[in-house]
Structures are given as C-alpha cells and as structure tokens.
A and B are shown apart, each in its own frame.
Chain A
Amino acid sequence: MSGPGAAHAVVGGAVGAVFGFALVASGFADPAVVHEMLLLRDARLYLMFAAALATATPLLWLLERRRWRTPLGGPLEIERVPVQRRHVLGGLTFGTGWAIAGTCPGPALAMTAGGHVLGAVVMAGLVGGILLREGVKRLAPAA
C-alpha cells in the first residue's frame, strides 16, 4: 500500500520512535511486568491497553465517517477481516510464546536496544518463526 517515498520513511521512523519510547517508558518492555500482568496481579498494562483502544477506536471511526483522504495513501480504508481458522490457530501459537517469554515483537526489540542480551535470542526466534511461516505458506498456500 505504501510506495518507496521518503515521506513514508519519515512517518514510519517518527511513529516507530514514539512507539519504542512508550514501550520502555510504560514498563511493557520489561518481561517481569508482563509476567505480573499475565498472572493477573498487575492491572496497569490492561488499563494501558484499554486506554489505547479508547483513544484509537473513536478516532478511527470518526476518520472513516468523514471519508478521510490520507496524504500519503489515498482514501482511508479500514481493514476488517472475518474470523478465520488462522486467527485462532495463530493466536494459540503466539500466546504460548508470549506466556513463556513475557514479551512480544515490539517489547523484545525495545528490550534488546536497552542492552538485554536475551532479548536478542527472542528476536532471533521471531525472525526464524516469521520466515518459517512464509516458507510454509509458499509450499502449502492452504495451510
């Protein structure tokens, strides 16, 4: 959907920087904090998630209603997909890894940037898993 423009790179880099800052500053990049969340002993990250959704949901709704024309990507089209088998199976697989590591792709990258060497081990696995899935998809598109 996005071309190879410099403007795209600037927007991507800037939004990524805010995202990375928020990951570390909120505690989401600390596996110990995520583990407490998954043990249902710390409500903070759930509240943060709810606040993120409470911010984005009405704004996206409003942009769509106003038929917003994006400056770099044409008329706004919000992506919506019906529930498919892959959502449940992929979710099960992803959730298992999330429980073990107490981190997910964004926090793992932020953690590694902060000097946590084992974050890089998780990242190596992530890249391996992504490429493995791409390979399987190529060999068996229906799987």
Chain B
Amino acid sequence: MPGLSSASDPLPWYVAGPLFGLTVVAVYALLNDTLGVSGTYFQVARLVGRRTGIDVWRAAFWFGLVAGALVAVTVRGGPALSLSYGALTSLLPLASAVPLLFAAGLLMGYGARWAGGCTSGHGMTGVASRSRGSLATTATFFGVAVALTLLGHQLTGGAW
C-alpha cells in the first residue's frame, strides 16, 4: 500500500502512542468533552443533512483528521489511488470484497453507536478515564476481533 505502508519508517509506537494520549487529554482539558471518532462521523452526517445543533468541534475534528492524514501521506510520497486492500483483495474478487467491506462498515457503525463509542471513544478516552463501561466495550471488541481473525486465518489455511 503505497503511502500507507508500515515498511516505510513508521512513527515508532512510543511516539505515536503518547501523541494519541495527548489528543484525548487536549479535548478534555480544553473542551471538557470526550474524543471519539464515530461521534464525529455522526456530526458530519448531521451537517450534511442540514440539521441544527451540530457539535462544531466534532465536525471540525473529522475534517482535521482528513487534513492530518493527507500531510502524513504526502510526507510518505503522496496520496495515490489504489484498489488494493491487503490480504482481502488478494483473496477475493472486487465484486465480493466491496459488499463485504460495506457490511463490515455497517457492523462497526451500528456497534459503535450502540456501545456509545469505538476504538478511540471507548478504547482510548474511556479506558484512560477508568470508565467501567468503556473497559467492558474495549475488552469485548478486542476479544471478538482477535478470535474471529484467528478463526478466519485457520479456515483459510493461513491465506487471510
């Protein structure tokens, strides 16, 4: 994956981790609010739907995320259009990969909204706040994701 490949000197975990931690602290310290990306999607969807009472900082966060990602991609050689998706697209034709990825998105969107957060809102912000509900959510989605990935790996004879 050009531009996103981890092989091209990724930011080390001991730099990237604290950086993520500081974003959580900044949102609490400045805005008294919880950082969570799935909530920013919801606010942007409401913005597009011309709803009133938009959570301005969440919508701005979503667009800021795009800008920050573009900077990082540019540093690594610039954005490039690509239809590849790791092992998934080498195993499946595009006609199967597209509905599968859409379904995966549906599950994540529904699940995140149901649980009240995703990897960032519960996994980072909630766990760092020592919120029990967030700990339960995070343990559940990490456990399920690891179990299903290992199962899929076994069923495909190690191809996935």
Contact = CB atoms under 8 A, between A and B. Distances in A.
Judge: A and B partners, yes or no: yes
Interface of A: 1-5, 8-33, 35, 38-40, 44-45, 47-57, 59-60, 63, 68, 70-84, 86-102, 104-106, 108-111, 113-118, 121-134, 137
Interface string B10-48: 110110111111111111111111110110111001000
Contact of B108 (A25, A54, A125): A125
A95 B143 contact: yes
Interface of B: 1, 3-6, 10-11, 13-14, 16-35, 37-38, 40-42, 45, 54-73, 75-76, 79-89, 97-98, 100-116, 118-120, 122-146, 148-150, 152-153, 160
Contacts of B4: 24, 27, 29-30, 111, 114, 116
A126 B133 contact: no
A60 B134 CA distance: 15
A16 B40 contact: yes
Interface of chain A, main secondary structure? helix
A111 B69 CA distance: 8
Most chain B Cβ neighbours within 10 Å, of A52, A83, A122: A52
B79 A115 contact: yes
Given A57-B128, A99-B144, A93 B61 contact: no
Contacts of A68: 29
Contacts, number: 488
A35 B101 contact: no
Contact of A104 (B61, B108, B113, B140): B108
Contacts of A78: 28, 129, 131
Contacts of A54: 17-18, 21
A54 to B, nearest CB: 7
Nearest to A108: B105
**7 closest pairs, A vs B, by CB?**
A125-B105, A129-B109, A51-B17, A16-B64, A90-B115, A73-B32, A55-B21
Contacts of A60: 24-25, 28, 128-129
A130 B113 contact: yes
B128 A39 contact: no
B120 to A, nearest CB: 6
B64 A104 contact: no
A45 B20 CA distance: 12
Contacts of A22: 11, 16, 19-20, 23, 68, 72
Contact of B35 (A15, A27, A114): A15
A98 B150 contact: no
B26 A11 contact: yes
